[in-house]
Chain A
Amino acid sequence: MSTTVNRVGLPRDAYKGAATTLCAGCGHNSITNHMIKALYELGVEPHLLAKMSGIGCSSKTPAYFVETAHGFNGVHGRMPALTTGAHLANRQLIMLGVSGDGDTASIGLGQYMHMIRRNVDCTYIIEDNGTYGLTKGQFSATADLGSVQKKGAVNTFQPIDPCAVALALGCSFVARSFSGDGKQVVPLIKAAIAHRGTAILDIISPCVTFNDHDGSTKSYSWVKDHEESIADVSFIPFFEEVHVDYEPGTVREVRLHDGSHIVLKKLGEDHDPTDRGAAIKVIEEGRAEGHLVTGLLYVDTEMSDFASTEQIPERPLKDLGEDDLRLTREDFAQFMSEFA
């Protein structure tokens, strides 16, 4: 009996991690499974993957997939800084950050925004449940105005929408999805990884323990009833042939830096994912109508990523030695003489 393997010769099990310690039914566990599927199908080499996270339920999940990869569970809201530094040290690594709504939209909002501003080449997944699970159910900054807490308290503040923030900053890849919508999440994760630059993927991921009741706008039932996908998304990796067979005018294709393609099939109104203004508009309209708009909102495949802008060599900085880094004896002597 032969096991099925992917293009780098690994079975799906090679992408699994430790057993989850999150609640049964947690949206984050679904996302973990979507991640395993996406990484397996993409054929990501585990040793080149760097799993980064901050603090919170979401930030525990990197332990639950690709156990053989390196992971760094840092401090609250600071995953972007660690990710930026690690990426600069070694451009070969595939940086995959997992964060939550508290980690991103509250304590980590500054770092989130500055990472986007720099367009650091990484995937940034927000497992967004609108609540602080580990500290037992306080509202987070992504909770909608008027959303009700389990014990009855009503949220009186405007939400911070990580996608709207990202778009306002000119983020080069912005998407939203729902943990229960694997058909959409998996191709979006693949596209985010293939994209060169900061890819933000805000995934609404219900907290079954503290935020899955009537009156919450982050519950399974609310999201299922209100999700409105702007286009069917599929992903064709660079190592597969493109054979799109749709009626003219019904699909849009986005070619990514590595030769992969995102194929978007129209549903209802046509959304141009390269139009940032349109992306902001579609989010705002959805909000006004009480819908959760999901799908690939915006992508810019031309923007220079941080390491390229900084002219960092492809050869990892970590591998440079004395010959690359020390002044020569002559340069050093010349340098000292200039102080005289």
Chain B
Amino acid sequence: MTDPIVNDLTIQAATVNGSGSQTANLVLTRAIFHMGIPVAPKNVFPSNIEGLPTWYQLRITPEGHMARSDKVDVLVAFNVATWREDLKTVRQGGVVVHEEAFSTADARTDVTYYAVPFAKLAKSKIQSDTLRKQLANMIYVGVVAGVLGIPWESIEHAVRRQFLAKPKAVPVNLDAIKVGFDYWQDNFSKQDPYRLQPMTGVVEGKVLVEGNQAAALGALMGGVTVVAWYPITPSSSLCEYVIAYSDRFRTGSNNGEKRISVVQAEDELAAVGMAIGAGWAGARAMTSTSGPGISLMAEFSGLAYYAEVPVVIFDIQRIGPSTGLPTRTSQGDLAFVYTLSHGDTKHLVLLPGTVEECYEFARDAFDYSDRFQTPVFVLSDLDLGMNLWMTPEFKYPEKPFDRGKVLTKDDLEKLAGDWGRYRDVDGDGVTFRTLPGTDHPAAGYFTRGSGHDEMARYTEGADAYARNMDRLSRKLETARHALPGPVIDESGQKVGLIAFGSTHAAVVEARETVSVDYLRVRALPLSDDVARFVARHERVYIVEQNRDGQLFDLVRLALPPELVDRVRSIRHYNGQPIPAAAIIEPLSSQEMVPA
């Protein structure tokens, strides 16, 4: 037997969608996390309610790598439909825990098999007919706990944590896990090198949060009061978390009064329209969607840009044109969202790269939107939004809301009513607005998506149109300097790397293998720091998860001509979260820069 491999392995559970396997996966994840071991789960699920194959990858590394691994050490094969293909994914010397009934005749001989009669055990040991299908998955948790040496107290903790709201479910689930755990003890001896041992030093102070949970919390802390949405994967859970948290934190205990309104709209057009109506009337308002919904929101986004109405729009990206692959991830909406809508429309886009930033950017998006009176897009993705990530606890905000330039009744009295909705009095392109309901005869103005002058009057005048568009440019330029700047980590390397969003996790890991400087873009329009970073490096690789190199294009447009040739593009676009290898391999082949 080879040397033990401790706390450094990837488990892949191949199960059937809708069978309750996700609960089992989460229990396993929480049990290992409870041992002090960093975990990075990736759920690969189909666009299906029940029956199609689904995979859950649980990556375990002592360093706390968060990116997807492209190697499988321990396969849990629960789905006969994908059994042959799943077996091929296991690395040499790996472990295969499988249903005993699956044939291993002429199968690989370079892995360790543990054949378990899951179906028979479920039938004989699980008493409840109604729960048997669900609980059968728990048996695998017990077997894996046996194989890897997960202490029973960690299993108990995980089950209790998983069923916080349903404590009655704890004993039956523990019993089912025990069935697998006992079966392992009674029937196998350890044949493989993989082991888990409790550790300290990495996970302390950290929690497991999904990006959509983080964004929902951020939006609530940012003061959102009107949410209008239409269900779409992978965005739905964001608004569902807002609803769940609102029931808890925004509901009057005596009268049931709600300090927030969450509307499930008839479609994405209405969803963003309601949010814009609310933003116009002075509420902090948002919607959340994904690619197809973003396409539908184009027209209204142009209105909010041109009429200068605050609204926050979350795009939890999935992959593909049209319907694409609804349950797979990508960063393919970047360029589209940046200029969403016709006729010289341009937007502020925030690009969270961690779940902590999902929280912070969701919260601060409302400040930026009010301050600059324009839509703010928060571009997350399925990987960031729907997977659990290990993260430091989020910080409580220390700053009050920034409601921007809003004239009150008193302000209007001081000005003797002399103001213009689109008059740039400060030179920053940001003008003053009044809210409907302001009790002053000069407060009212007419908001429109058609041509308007400084006083918000209708005009088709050439000069007035150009003046207004120039001011809008100036406003975006002001905003550009206020948005979150790039995060730069450099040590004078010749080669640099630029990425954004969830690609961050793979970059962090890749940089342990290749010595490159790193700039992470966090907002559009691009900061001047990007061009400066390129200027300091001989070559800069831009890594992103889309086919056409959308950030690559935007960076090149922002560079002076002499720097354009310095940038190269690395792209990953198969719908699976980018692994570090997808960065290391192209970089190594082109640069030969070992660490």
Contact = CB atoms under 8 A, between A and B. Distances in A.
Most chain B Cβ neighbours within 10 Å, of A45, A80, A81, A340? A81
A279 B92 CA distance: 77
A139 B271 CA distance: 29
Most chain B Cβ neighbours within 10 Å, of A52, A69, A326, A339? A339
A85 B281 contact: yes
Given A86-B281, A311-B258, A340 B207 contact: yes
B113 to A, nearest CB: 36
B277 A72 contact: yes
B445 interface: yes
B535 interface: no
B342 to A, nearest CB: 12
Contact of A332 (B207, B224, B396, B445): B396
Contacts of B393: 336, 339
Interface stretch (B18-26, B259-267, B492-500, B587-595): B259-267
B223 A325 contact: yes
Nearest to B283: A89
B278 A85 contact: yes
B585 to A, nearest CB: 35
B260 A317 contact: yes
Contact of A318 (B250, B274, B281, B300): B281
Contacts of A325: 220, 223-225, 250, 259
A75 B396 CA distance: 39
Contacts of A290: none
Contact of B226 (A80, A88, A111): A88
B140 to A, nearest CB: 25
A78 B303 CA distance: 11
B458 A63 contact: yes
Given A324-B259, A325-B220, A317 B438 contact: no
Nearest to A82: B277
B263 A84 contact: yes
A317 B457 CA distance: 29
B278 A88 contact: yes
A89 B282 contact: yes
A312 interface: yes
B231 interface: no
Given A75-B299, A311-B257, A320 B223 contact: yes
Contacts of B136: none
Given A46-B441, A70-B447, A327-B249, A320 B282 contact: no
A257 interface: no
A319 B396 CA distance: 22
A45 B443 CA distance: 13
Given A85-B275, A111-B266, A75 B261 contact: no
A114 B224 CA distance: 23
A304 to B, nearest CB: 14
A29 interface: no
A325 to B, nearest CB: 4
B76 interface: no
B440 A47 contact: yes
Contacts of A331: 249
B257 A313 contact: yes
Given A46-B444, A73-B447, A317-B225, A326 B282 contact: no
Most chain B Cβ neighbours within 10 Å, of A83, A111, A331? A111
A80 B277 CA distance: 9
B97 interface: no
Contacts of A73: 446-450
A329 B300 CA distance: 37
B446 A63 contact: yes
Interface in A300-334: 307, 310-313, 316-322, 324-327, 329, 331-333
B161 to A, nearest CB: 8
A90 B445 contact: no
Given A47-B441, A71-B444, 6 more contacts: A67-B444, A78-B300, A85-B285, A111-B270, A313-B258, A320-B225
When A and B form their complex, which 4 residue pairs have the shortest distance between CB atoms, in order from nearest? A85-B277, A81-B273, A318-B282, A89-B283
Interface of B: 164, 207-209, 213, 217, 220-221, 223-226, 228, 245, 249-250, 252, 255-261, 263, 265-267, 269-283, 285, 299-300, 303, 307, 393-394, 396-397, 400-401, 434-450, 457-458
Interface of A: 18, 45-48, 50-52, 62-63, 66-75, 78, 80-90, 92-93, 110-111, 113-114, 307, 310-313, 316-322, 324-327, 329, 331-333, 335-340
